[in-house]
Structure 1
Amino acid sequence: VGQSLGAQIAELVAAQREDRISGLVLLTPVPFGGTRLPAEVVAEFQAVGGNRVAQRQSRAELSPELDDKELDRLADMGAVVAPDVVAHYVNLWNNGAADAPAMSAYSGPVLIIRGGSDAFVTADLIGAIAARFAGADVHIIDRGGHWLHVEYPGAVAAMVLDFLESVEGLQS
């Protein structure tokens, strides 16, 4: 299971250890080829480094269903990340890998879960990501944003368990 930029890491691990992986779950994944957002939008994301108020505002915009407690918790965690580190990771997810393959090296079952209110990982990006996998199953949590696992942990857990049951033939 990987979320956002972590989805790329999960995919790489799954491809290298496919014999030990039952399935791959990608939550609001960022594409290997990058988001390719305009410079002015990228600059806004880069500016949140070390800035708790900006961290909170950004998270509120991308996950409108987060309550104040969770927004504060996520903002507190993000605020300690140095501005140059934030800028580096923003560049990674925006620029992507120049040699990103059209198809994933992972050929097993894939579940992609997207938030319908996530203005960052859009339906178009999900379409491009899903196309990299043979038969990826895409689910949408309508009011969910970018931090689905925080906003709707029960719904995400149920989808992951259903997926696991389907690939492993398990009964809960």
Structure 2
Amino acid sequence: LESISIEAGHFVIHPEPTELNDVIDDAIRIMQPLLDRRQQKLVVSYPSPLPLVQGDPSRLTQVFVNLLANASKYGPMAETIKITVSPAENGQIKVAVADQGPGISPTIQGQLFHRFIRFDTPHAAQHGVGLGLWVVKAIITGHAGQVGIESQVGGGSVFWFTLPITTNHK
């Protein structure tokens, strides 16, 4: 249903001044059972105080859940996943989710944010339909942000996105 609403242009984002640390906490609560099952540790690092972003909290939670699910799925058991939030250019912040998975070939990286593209490996804990990163890109683009990946085969992957900082208060 999500993909149909994105395609039809009915994908709604309700931006408001948002505490990103609350969004991260919500996503961790949702993902903790999966991380526990796979004995994976999550390390979160962000500046204090963390500036407010102009965003839709439920949509941003969805972004974190999708990225954490992928990091868990493609990362090895009993390893660490890292979330890092840092200042970026032009009044934005950058969020990075890093895994210790098999890494992704540069020839595939450019396709990952397209619909129905999957990266299956023999070590993946489960397989999906290839919509998660496409939805992530739609949500972040709807927030005037950007998405990307930094990866090397055999060296893990870092999926990142940017969001605008707001000076408005809650």
* TM-score scaled by length of structure 1: 0.26
Larger strand percent: 2
> Bigger radius of gyration, 1 or 2?
1
TM-score by length of 2: 0.26
Q: Normalized per residue, which structure has more helix?
A: 1
